[in-house]
Amino acid sequence: MKINFNEPFISGLEKEFILDVFEQNRFYGNGKYTQLSTNLIKNRISSENVLLTDSCTSALEIVALLLRDYKKEQEIILPSYTFSSTASAFARAGFKLVFAEINPHTMMLDPNDIEKRITEKTVAVVTVHYAGYCCELEKISLICKKHEIKLVEDAAQAFDSYLKGKALGTFGDFGCFSFHETKNIHAGLSGALTIQDPAYVDRATYIWERGTNRQEVLKGLVDKYSWVEIGGSFYPTEFQAAFLYAQLLSLDENVAKRKAIYDVYHTNLSLLKEEKILDFPSFENYFKSNFHAFFIRLNSEEECDKVRECLVRNNISAYIGYVPLHSSKVGLKMGYTKESLPITEYNAKCVLRLPFHNNLTIEDVHFMTLIIKESLGFLA
């Protein structure tokens, strides 16, 4: 029996809603199911301004277009330990990317390093919430307020996680979620953008709607729509929105199952953490996770390879985490070197992401943790 790294979640209601899209005879998007999904998201995370997008990448691209002033040289600060979209969205809008170091315990942005990299050109910090954990949000928010720069939360992996009761993705000026099929809930591809400052809502909506003020025509405010922003085609079809609606309705059941899986990983590997054979962050009691993933950080690349190979030999797919962006092909072209961010460079090679999806059984998790212990000589 093979244990897959990820299996897309299916709630069972998807087909019914997809068929209803045919009944509606409205396919292209921004229709009934876009409204239903958007309203559910708004209520769930208590956010007034939400735009459903066709991906988290698109949500990030809308933010980049909103913040870009083409007359100025502008910089954003972001982790190198992230997915390419966090960087690409801003680079292609013309921002200079300034990569900052991470805290190796959490693999998320180190607030002290952010502060060192702020210049008069810095426009925003883009922070990533990794693997169902929360970055040092309160410290990072304070830094952004002090320097009067925007905070963008790349919450691709963090939909339905809450810090002190407030949803991740609603702390910063903008929050970007992913509903890619590798996420807890999904629509194949989809995402969402939250906008905390109402002053940005109209422009964001124009950008979302191919740079036009078509929404105002639909509301009867103007007769003809025209080109008012540099935009894109950023919203999902009604098929995606209908699929997502089915998944959103099953969110509680989805998270409860993931918590049960997480708890077994956590309990079974705690002793290895205490012995400092490996590391993983734990949750503070004021944080409610969506239990997106479980990762371990070994003490060296060699140890990490050893555990991964042992899992693979047992038909278990485990993967390394993000490959750092600063030392990627594009990062090197931008002038970064491996040495630019030594903490990120070293620790990224030590991270192993373990299988995590709703079809895993508790026995699967016990088996995997047994293999991990064996591979590290812990059962000898």
Ligand X SMILES: Cc1ncc(COP(=O)(O)O)c(C=O)c1O
Binding site for ligand X (CB under 6 A): 55-57, 82-83, 85-86, 128, 154, 156-157, 178, 180, 191
3-class SS of residue 336: coil
Of 86 and 213, which CB lies nearer to ligand X in the complex structure? 86
Task: Give the nearest distance from C-beta 96 to ligand X in angstroms.
Answer: 19
Nearer to ligand X, 150 or 186 (CB): 186
Burial class (CB in 10 A: 0-12, 13-18, 19+), 266: middle
3-state helix, strand, coil in the chain (%, to 5): 40, 15, 40
Residue with smaller CB distance to ligand X, 85 or 240: 85
Query: Considering the complex, what minimum distance in angstroms separates the CB of residue 35 from ligand X?
Result: 21
Q: Which residues contact 302 (CB under 8 A, 6 or more apart)?
A: none
Q: How far is the CB of 59 from ligand X (least distance, A)?
A: 8
Between CA 216 and CA 346 the distance in angstroms is: 51
Least distance between ligand X and beta carbon 23 (Å): 28
CB-wise, 11 or 178, nearer to ligand X? 178
| Residue 305: Cβ within 10 Å count | 15
CB of 1 to ligand X, least distance (A): 27
CB of 233 to ligand X, least distance (A): 14
Q: Which is nearer to ligand X, 29 or 372 (CB)?
A: 29
Q: Which is nearer to ligand X, 251 or 376 (CB)?
A: 251
What does the DSSP 8-state code read for residue 30? S
Does the CA dihedral 69-70-75-76 come out positive or negative? positive
Phi, psi of 347 (to 5 degrees): -75, -30
- Taking alpha carbons only, the member of 290, 61, 285 closest to residue 186 is 290
Residue whose C-alpha is closest to residue 184's, from 292, 263, 264: 292
